[in-house]
Structure 1
Amino acid sequence: MPVAVSSLLFRTLPLAVAVAALTACAGAAAPKPAPSPQLNTLYGQLDQASKGYETALQQARAGDAPASEQSLNTALDQMKDISLHCGSTPGCDPQRVFSVYDRLLRLKDGSFFAGDDNDVLGEQQPEGGADGKTGAASLPEAQRSVTLLRGQKLSELIAMNGPVKAALEMWLTQWRPNLMDAYVNYQFMRYRMWPEYQKADLPEALLFGIMAKESGGKVHAVSRSGAAGPLQFMYATGMRFGLSNDDGFDTRFDPAASARANAEYMDEQLKIFNNNLEMTLAAYNGGEGRMRRMVGDDPSVSFYDPKIYNQLSQETREYVPAVLAAAWLFLHPESYNLRFPKVDGAPGNIVLKRSASLTELTVCLGSAGGMNDGWFRTLRNLNPRLDPQAAQPAGVRLEVPKPLEKAYAARCVDGPWPILANDLHTAIVPVVTPSMAAAATPRSAPSPTRTRSYTVRRGDTLVSIARKVDCADVEDIARSNGLKHHHLKVGQTLKLPVCR
């Protein structure tokens, strides 16, 4: 097994040994007050959950997978209740609780840390399912994301350290709408993107994590630095991996092509960085040349080693744990009180019966299939070569989710909705030149916004500063202070909004 991230992995010992170690540490410290009855009760429940882990292991070894799964789910339910009460119980050690919780999650993901325990659960299906399907369609929902990464399950490579925990909180709070949008967008593009990752034997959760952080699944996203597409390739890097101009279309915007290029990039960099996933992600964000110079002749060095971490930009320090946290939530949403929407992403197509643009189709489809936000983003993602405002002639074939085939026939061929959509689309808007607008618009003083000054201290990040301000997020603060790439300097003065 590669050792690139060995210092970060939870090389957990059997629970009895871990508890003994904790007890020994406590004995060496200064005397503490006796634990309260409430704390003793809570820790007793924690021990029960830990025993559930051992029971699940034994049942798995005995080949009784259903019983093992039931024991594990029962223990996880106990842990959720324990976690709920830990914060209100004096003396409760959250890290002690979390270590057991993390251990249970990793068991659920098919990840073990002791010799012959490997691959007892979550084994990979042989290529092709029982129904004869191959590729992404053959993977059961529960196992599709447990793909091995160079012989290691993804769960073994995600260390639940401070930065990853902080990123989990951000995805579950301020970034939550972005996470949900990314999930929906990905499900409709999955049939185009996931097979490219599967061919490279890379975890689907990793693909989702990168896409969620880079673009949120918006195929036509372009950054201020010129990175483009769902996986945000810079032009030169894209060219190196076959993303070029195809008859006027930038193939960085093609979901399948960008996923293929990203898989090739990850494969190349994983080999260079000794299968160190964090270093590879850092190279993707901050540039492989710079990361190679930092690493030098020691490819096993940890991403969090001060000689590496302290040289990284703030953006890269936050990017790597953010990708890993999104990947982890993709694997275990229910364990973080998160419920992704059910999405029928089966591919389909329609042949236009009458001329229409993607914007007109969006209007006539409305909220078909329960899509309250409308279908504009999905139609654009699945037909990236088309100008959404340009009318496509009758007979053109468009890619759409399978459920929209019937909705199109019912709503967009005849009746009032296509007429309404065309009337709105062809509306004439008066053209006003900038000089005319400037002459006609009276100048008014900008409305005052209350702000306060904040001096950046060592260890501050935009994420940690944003947590102190309930009425602004990271992007608001970066934009109002003109921060490029979220870069901060110790002693720098920032303007923060005053919450009302």
Structure 2
Amino acid sequence: MNMKLHLALLGALLLTGCQALQQDSDKNNLGSTVNVMSNYRSHATSALDRSESSHPYMWDRIADEMQLTMPNDPDVIAYRDWYIKHPKYLRTVTERAAPFLHLITEEIDKRQMPMELVLLPIVESAYNPNARSHGNAVGLWQFLSASGKRYGLKQDYWYDGRRDVVASTHAALDYLAQLNAYFDGDWLNAVAAYNAGEGRIQNAIKANRAQGKATDFFSLNLPRQTMEYVPRLMALADVIKNAKKYGIDLPKVPNRPSVRLIDTNGQIDLRTAAEQAGMSLPALKRLNPGFNRNTTSPQGPDHLLVPIGVADELELALADMAPQKRMRNDSERVALAKNDDAAKSGSSVSISVHHKVKRGDTLWTIASSYGVSEKQLMQWNKLTKKKLKAGQVLLVNAPVSKASGKASKLSVAKAAKSRRYEVRRGDSLSSIAEKFQITINDLMRWNSLDHNRLKPGQTLTVRLNDSGV
């Protein structure tokens, strides 16, 4: 390999990420993941409850948890030297990664996967969620369209899950875990297969076996891009793990959650959500690049990634917001797939809401309460039978006037379970917790507090139990 030539081109390549060689047929062979958001909220909550680990900064924690053996390979050394000579590049990707670094690290940690994988988006996209390769691979983890769909990443007019940081991270780690199992625990071959497709790696392994050669990554005959891909990852790992040794001062990203996923309770205009959160629209969209428009999708997902300091208050505000205030203009309020019945009903403006089926509900009672037909409900939810189960959630594209009435009842119910409390002189976390029969930990979590100092006039969110204590 002519390393001088490759390294001369590396600067531009690194800033844009690499073009994935993943083959869709290979990904299809390994199956798919359906629930890309599984367990995120509960895991994020547990992260909030935990104090910082022994490492106050993310790169220190990541370096300490790395597992893979560093190969003594000339390509790894060459790329390592490039990173050492270009510390500005590491600062740039750290700035991009900062909002997401903790949540991706937590997910890798939860799955007990090598912490080196948190560096893979640097190789793939330079931690740019909007990156698109020449081969049309998209997002932090550079999924192609077909392979993204196979791994549960929805793509439509409103939303592209390949750019959704949380969803694509779940999909990428699911795929990497499957690749690792496929290659009998060899992580370097698994990472190579993430780039080139497992079929190509498996064929190279078979060819080496037939010739009596070793089958580790560095012994395989693979495309040039893949032969550079793994060394770049390992070079990054070496630099991060030995930053002091190489004289590199890595940016200090605190080892604690900075963002949280919240429930939007249905479709919401991003401008409205940004105003409620006290953020600019561009800032909110940078955290939620999966949405193609200035609104979430009427078909879901119904979530937003927001700064942790505004998460609880924004979630409550969106839960209590009247449907007619959620959207800015008619064209984006109308559901994407209007059917003939909806057109005949004359409801030119509708909003997507989710109805949780209660005991005694029928399609007819639900349809009547929202001013739609049973046939519409069945079409929107792809139902073949009219039988419903308590707890089932139905999508309803309801006329705004009907949706408003349902939402107002929901708001009253939610308001009865939460309130705002203004701190008075002499109040403490323990006295407020005792007053409302709640725990101090809950009070701190609801208000994103990392200390026990309160000021008179400060407003706290208090969530009450069902008995209305």
Per the shorter chain, which TM-score range? Answer: 0.3 to 0.5
Bigger relative contact order (CA 8 A; separation at least 6): 2
Normalised to the residue count of structure 2, the TM-score between the two structures is 0.45
